[in-house]
Structures are given as C-alpha cells and as structure tokens.
C-alpha cells in the first residue's frame, strides 16, 4: 500500500493521486535525453506539468524509477528545462521514495499555494542501467571440488555511481559473492572459493547503484551467463574373481582371474586405470568406462601378476584431466597348484587306474574261459604224475 507522508495542516487533506488525479502516462521534456527534463503527466489526453512545491529527491527518484532511467542525480525547480505550455495539474506531491510509480505518491489538496510555469518540476536521472558483462578470469570452466573460480564483471558504459557488484547463480535468490567498489570503479573480480558440487551451474553478475537519497538503490539487469562444471570423483571400489579351489587372496598359476573396478558417479569419456605395484616396478592397465564398472581379465596367472592392485577413475573434461584417489590395496599372490592335483599327476593316476582296471578285466576273462575248457581224465592225470615222478626220481639218481 502506498504511504501518505504529507503533513496535515489546517484546510489541507491528504489523498492518493491515483484515486483522485489518475493519469495515463509520464514523460520528461526539454532535457538532453529521455531521462532528463520537465516532468509531465498525461491526463485526459493532455500533457500537464507538476508544480515544484515540495519537489525533492524522493519525488524525482520515483519518476526516474518509473521511466527506467536509474536514479535521480538531482531534482530541478523553477523551469530549469523551460516552461510548460499547458495546465499545471498538480501543486503539491509527496513521495516516500519507495514507490514504483508517481501515481502511488500522496497529493496535498486544498493548498492555497500559487503555481505558474515558473514552478515546473524537473529531474536529471542517471540514465538507463546498462547490462554488465561477465567474463572468466580462470583459464577453464571445469573445476574439482575445493578449487576456486574467478569471474570478472564490468560495465562498458554506464553510471559512475556503482556501489557494489554481485555474483548470482541461477535458481539462488541471494548473491553468492558481493564485492564493494569505489564509485568510479566499473570493473571488479569476483571469486567463488571452496567449490562444492552444488556450485555447478549457470552464473551471471549485476551491479548496484546508489543515489543521493538512501532509498536510491537500484540493481542493474543481469549480465550474460557462464556455466561451470564441478567434478567430484569418488574413490572407486574393486574386487577379484578366480577359481574356487584357490586360497583367499591368491590365484593358482596358469588359472585365469579378473579384477572389477566400480564407481558411484559416472562421467562421459571416463576410464578406469588398474595399477599393479610389485617388487620390481609398477604396471598400469587402462580401460574405457562406458558403464560405472569395468573388468580387467588375466587369462593365465603368472608370477609377474603378483602384487598389490589399485583402482583409479580418470576423467577428461574441458581440456583438464581429473583423477580420483586410489582405492584400498588389493593383495594377490600367485601359488603353484597342489602336486597331488597337478595335471601331470592326475594324468599318471588316470593312466595307472586304467591299466589296473584293464588287467583285472583280462584276468577275469581268462579265468572264465579256462573254466569252460573240458577237465582231463583220471588216467591222464596219473600218467602225468607218474611221468613227473619218474623224471624227478631219475634226476635224483643221477645226482
């Protein structure tokens, strides 16, 4: 609600202009540009002037604000911009300085003060607030958490009453950085320190101008926008898989094994790096990361694969390379297979078992065939026995 600041005197009453003396337009005439001149209002299709009784910075500021001409550098009285040629409609207007339109100010009616065109009110405004320009001082637009980003905000042409500059982030009402300057300064560096992921986004700057009256504080239009990216690489996780008969923390020589690296945050164009630290040096493997995880495969474990494995996540953005912290070490040892279960020993065991089974089979078959043959007669057995005995006996006699 507009305020009523007039001093009530005998025979005077305080009313709102737009309720009694409404008008359809406002302009400045006779000045060097559209932001300076004699104040005229359009009422009933006729431009009329305003009397300078009570005319000061508050009233002049409201006019400049309504016309988009910045703030009032100074109010004028006594036809400073020449006399008007039409009626003088308003004799005594009073504003608080906070109104957005002259029609919201208070008017004193019933005053017996006489006004002529020698009392036409005028104003010299600072001019339209020019759009500032935001530029990068930092050589890049991609940053990691904890770094600082530096912007430059400046005015190419504009008022010399700049009070301070503000750095704004889209979606945030209050400025993230405010830098006070001298009134003659038209350029300032704005630094946003200790970046976090929520700082990622689009930024613009504004400046504020201050006039002679405390209420004369205006913000410029926003500048162009600049986007920044904040990279926060989490420490990746990793694990390994191998044959079930391998003891924990080891793989069997000649067997295959694989190591998987994963992360919770994924960036385009990223890669995983697997670093093996062993007694005789360091070995690095790298794979692109189209997904949040990749698997490094080792088809045949050898002694050279023994050591401590670390995973890193690597990203290239905006011409910069970002590398995560290393994961915890994953120790892997390479062990020889159990001799009893070695392939050669297993081959020998299989061959021996096959031989034994074959021999047993042959004996069984031979015994079965022998049992089927006809048994010899008693006479034949005795004859053989006798012959054998004789042979033995004869042999004994000769000895």
> What are the distances in angstroms from CA 46 to CA 23, 29, 123, 290?
10, 14, 20, 72
Q: Torsion angle of alpha carbons 196, 201, 202, 203, nearest 10°?
A: -10
Task: Show the CA angle centred on residue 153, arms to residues 123 and 100, nearest 5°.
Answer: 30
CA distance 173 to 167: 11
- The per-residue pLDDT for range 7-59, each reduced to its tens digit, is 333 334 444 444 445 667 899 999 888 889 999 988 888 888 888 888 988 88
The DSSP letter of residue 157 is: S
pLDDT tens by residue, 278-333 = 988 999 999 999 999 999 999 999 999 999 999 999 999 999 999 999 999 999 99
**Dihedral angle, C-alpha 262, 265, 271, 273, nearest 10 °:** -50
Question: Would you say 318 and 147 are in contact if contact means Cβ atoms under 8 Å apart?
Answer: no
Residue pLDDT tens, the chain, 399 long:
344 434 333 334 444 444 445 667 899 999 888 889 999 988 888 888 888 888 988 888 889 888 888 778 888 887 788 888 878 877 788 888 778 788 888 877 655 667 888 889 999 987 777 889 999 999 999 999 999 999 999 987 555 567 889 999 999 999 999 999 876 678 899 999 999 999 999 999 998 876 555 555 677 889 999 999 999 999 999 999 998 888 899 999 999 999 999 999 889 889 999 999 998 899 999 999 999 999 999 999 999 999 999 999 999 999 999 999 999 999 999 998 876 555 656 677 788 888 888 888 888 877 777 776 655 555 455 545 444 554 444 444 444
Instruction: Report CA-CA distances (Å) from 112 to 9, 56, 57.
Output: 12, 20, 23
- Percent of the chain whose pLDDT exceeds 90: 43
- Give the integer Cα–Cα distance in Å for 289 and 264: 12
Q: What is the DSSP track for 325-375? A: PPPPPEEEEEEPPPGGGSHHHHHHHHHHHHHHHHHHHHHHHHHHHHHHSPP
What domains can you pick out in the chain, each with its CATH number?
13-125 (3.10.250.10), 133-231 (2.60.40.10), 237-337 (2.60.40.10), 352-398 (no CATH)
φ/ψ of residue 313, rounded to 5: -110, 130
Residue 117: CB atoms within 10 A of its CB come to 17
Give the model's pLDDT for residue 84.
83
pLDDT at 109: 65
CB 293 within 8 A of CB 261: yes
- Specify the pLDDT at position 236: 96
Q: What is the pLDDT of residue 123?
A: 93
- For residue 73, what are the contacts with CB-CB under 8 A and spacing of at least 6? 124, 125, 126, 211, 212
Per-residue pLDDT, 367: 79
Read off the tokens for 312: 């890193």
């Amino acid at each position: 609600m507009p305020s009523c600041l007039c001093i009530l005197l005998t025979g005077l009453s305080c009313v709102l202009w737009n309720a009694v003396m409404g008008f359809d337009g406002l302009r400045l005439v006779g000045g060097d540009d559209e932001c300076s001149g004699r104040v005229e209002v359009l009422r009933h299709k006729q431009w009329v002037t305003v009397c300078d009784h009570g005319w000061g910075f508050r009233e002049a500021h409201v006019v400049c604000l309504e016309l988009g001409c910045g703030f009032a550098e100074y109010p004028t009285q006594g036809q400073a911009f020449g006399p008007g040629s039409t009626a003088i409609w308003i004799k005594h207007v009073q504003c608080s300085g906070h109104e957005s339109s002259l029609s919201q100010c208070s008017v004193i009616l019933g005053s017996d003060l006489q006004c002529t065109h020698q009392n036409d009110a005028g104003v010299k405004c600072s001019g339209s607030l020019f759009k500032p320009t935001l530029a990068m001082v930092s050589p890049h637009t991609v940053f990691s958490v904890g770094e600082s980003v530096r912007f430059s905000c400046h005015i190419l042409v504009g008022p010399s009453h700049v009070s301070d500059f503000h750095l704004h982030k889209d979606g945030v009402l209050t400025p993230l950085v405010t830098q006070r300057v001298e009134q003659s300064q038209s350029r300032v560096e704005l630094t946003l320190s200790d970046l976090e992921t929520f700082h990622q986004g689009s930024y613009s700057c504004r400046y504020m101008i201050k006039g002679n009256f405390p209420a004369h504080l205006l913000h410029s239009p926003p500048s162009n926008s600049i986007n920044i990216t904040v990279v926060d690489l989490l420490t990746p996780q990793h694990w390994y898989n191998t044959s079930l008969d391998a003891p924990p923390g080891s793989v069997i020589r000649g067997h295959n094994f694989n190591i998987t690296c994963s992360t919770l945050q994924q960036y385009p164009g990223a890669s995983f790096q697997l670093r093996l630290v062993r007694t005789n040096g360091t070995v690095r493997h790298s794979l692109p990361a189209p997904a949040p995880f990749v698997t490094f495969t080792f088809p045949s474990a050898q002694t050279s694969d023994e050591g401590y494995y670390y995973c890193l996540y690597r990203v290239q953005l905006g011409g910069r390379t970002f590398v995560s912290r290393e994961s915890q070490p994953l120790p892997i040892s390479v062990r020889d297979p159990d001799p009893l279960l070695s392939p050669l020993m297993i081959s020998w065991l299989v061959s021996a078992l096959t031989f034994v089974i074959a021999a047993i089979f042959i004996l069984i078959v031979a015994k079965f065939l022998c049992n089927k043959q006809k048994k010899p007669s008693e006479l034949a057995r005795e004859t053989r026995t006798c012959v054998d005995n004789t042979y033995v006996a004869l042999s004994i006699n000769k000895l």
